[in-house]
Amino acid sequence: MDMSVKKKLGLKEKYALMTRNLGWEPSYEKREDVYPLLDYEGIKIHDWDTWEDPFRLTMDSYWKYQAEKERKLYAIIDAFNQNNGHLNVTDARYINAMKVFLSAVPALEYNAHRGFARLGRHMGGVGPQVACQMQAIDEMRHCQTQIHSISNYNRFYNGIHDWKHMNDRLWYLSVPKSFFEDACTCGPFEFIIAIGFSFEYVLTNLVFVPFVSGAAYNGDMGTMTFGFSAQSDEARHMTLGLEVIKFMLEQDPANLPIVQKWIDKWTWRGVRLLTIVAMMMDYMLPKRVMSWKEAWEIYFEENGMSLFKDLARYGIKVPDCVEQIKKEKDHLSHQAWTTFYAAAPMTNFHTWIPSDDELDWLSAKYPDTFDKYYRPRFEFFREQAEKGERFVNPNLPQLCQVCQIPMLFTEPDDPTQIAYRQSEHDGEKYHFCSDHCQHIFDNEPEKYVEAWLPVHQILQGNCFAEGDDPSAPDFDPIASVMKYWHLENGRDNGDFAGSEDEKNFAAWRGMTTSNT
Partner 1 sequence: MSVQSIRPFKAAAKDVAANFHGQQVVYFCWDQHLMFYAPVAKLLPPDITFQAVIDTELTPTYSRHPDFARIDWAAVQWFKDGEAFTPVLDTSLAGNGITHKTAVHFKTPGLNGLNGNGF
Partner 2 sequence: MSNVFIALQTNEESRYIVEALLEDNPTAVVDEQPAMVKINVPGTLVLRRETVEEKMGRPFDLQEMQVNLITLSGHVDEDENEFRLSWND
Asked if 255 interacts with partner 2 (CB under 8 A), we say no
Q: Which of 35, 59, 72, 363 binds partner 2 (CB under 8 A)?
A: 72
Interacting span for partner 1 (CB under 8 A) from 116-124, 159-167, 293-301, 388-396: 388-396
Q: Which of 361, 391, 464, 508 binds partner 1 (CB under 8 A)?
A: 391
Alpha carbon separation from 50 to 54, 169, 231 (Å, rounded): 12, 44, 28
Q: Which of 69, 390, 425, 431 binds partner 2 (CB under 8 A)?
A: 69
Smaller CB separation from partner 2, 11 or 364: 11
Distance from C-alpha of 508 to C-alpha of 487, rounded to nearest angstrom: 24
Distance from C-alpha of 496 to C-alpha of 303, rounded to nearest angstrom: 37
Residue 7: contacted member of partner 1, partner 2, none (CB under 5 to 8 Å, by partner type): none
* Helix (H/G/I), strand (E/B), else coil: 175: helix
Smaller CB separation from partner 2, 79 or 235: 235
Question: What are residue 466's phi and psi, to 5 degrees?
Answer: -55, 135
Q: Which of 397, 486, 502, 508 binds partner 1 (CB under 8 A)?
A: 397
In sequence order, which residues have a C-beta less than 8 Å from that of residue 287 and are 6 or more positions away?
90, 214, 217, 218
The 365-384 contact track toward partner 1, x by CB under 8 A, reads -------xx--xx--x----
Minimum distance from residue 417 beta carbon to partner 1 (Å) = 6
Distance from C-alpha of 238 to C-alpha of 226, rounded to nearest angstrom: 18
In sequence order, which residues have a C-beta less than 8 Å from that of residue 253 and are 6 or more positions away?
none
In sequence order, which residues have a C-beta less than 8 Å from that of residue 292 and are 6 or more positions away?
277, 278, 279, 281, 282, 329, 332, 333
Minimum distance from residue 204 beta carbon to partner 2 (Å) = 8
Asked if 236 interacts with partner 2 (CB under 8 A), we say yes
Asked if 201 interacts with partner 1 (CB under 8 A), we say no
Q: Strand 421-425 vs strand 428-432: parallel, antiparallel, or unpaired? A: antiparallel
Smaller CB separation from partner 2, 53 or 182: 53
The 173-192 contact track toward partner 1, x by CB under 8 A, reads -------------xx--x--
Asked if 365 interacts with partner 2 (CB under 8 A), we say no
Minimum distance from residue 239 beta carbon to partner 2 (Å) = 5
The 172-211 contact track toward partner 2, x by CB under 8 A, reads ---------------------------------x--xxx-
Interacting span for partner 1 (CB under 8 A) from 12-20, 56-64, 270-278, 394-402: 394-402
- Chain-centroid distance of CA 9 in Å reads 40
Shortest CA distance to 344 belongs to which of 159, 167, 468? Answer: 159
Three-state SS annotation for 76-131: HHHHHHHCCHHHHCCCHHHHHHHHHHHHHHHHHHHHHHHHHHHHHHHCCCHHHHHH
Shortest CA distance to 269 belongs to which of 170, 360, 375, 195? Answer: 195
Maximum distance among all Cα pairs of the chain, rounded to whole angstroms: 97
What Rg, from alpha-carbon coordinates, does the chain have?
A: 24
**411 beta partners:** 414
Residue 396: contacted member of partner 2, partner 1, none (CB under 5 to 8 Å, by partner type): partner 1
Q: Which of 134, 453, 463, 482 binds partner 1 (CB under 8 A)?
A: 453
Minimum distance from residue 440 beta carbon to partner 1 (Å) = 11
In sequence order, which residues have a C-beta less than 8 Å from that of residue 430 and are 6 or more positions away?
401, 422, 423, 424, 441, 445, 448, 449
- Between residue 25 and residue 84, which ones bind partner 1 under the rule CB under 8 A? 36-37, 40-42
Which residues make up the interface to partner 1 (CB under 8 A)?
Answer: 36-37, 40-42, 186-187, 190, 335, 338-339, 342-343, 372-373, 376-377, 380, 391, 393, 395-399, 406-408, 410, 415-418, 420, 422, 425-426, 428-431, 443-447, 449-453, 455-456, 459-461
Which residues make up the interface to partner 2 (CB under 8 A)?
Answer: 10-12, 54-57, 61, 65, 68-69, 72, 205, 208-210, 212-214, 216-217, 224, 228, 231-232, 234-236, 238-239, 242, 289, 302-303, 305-307, 309-310, 312-313
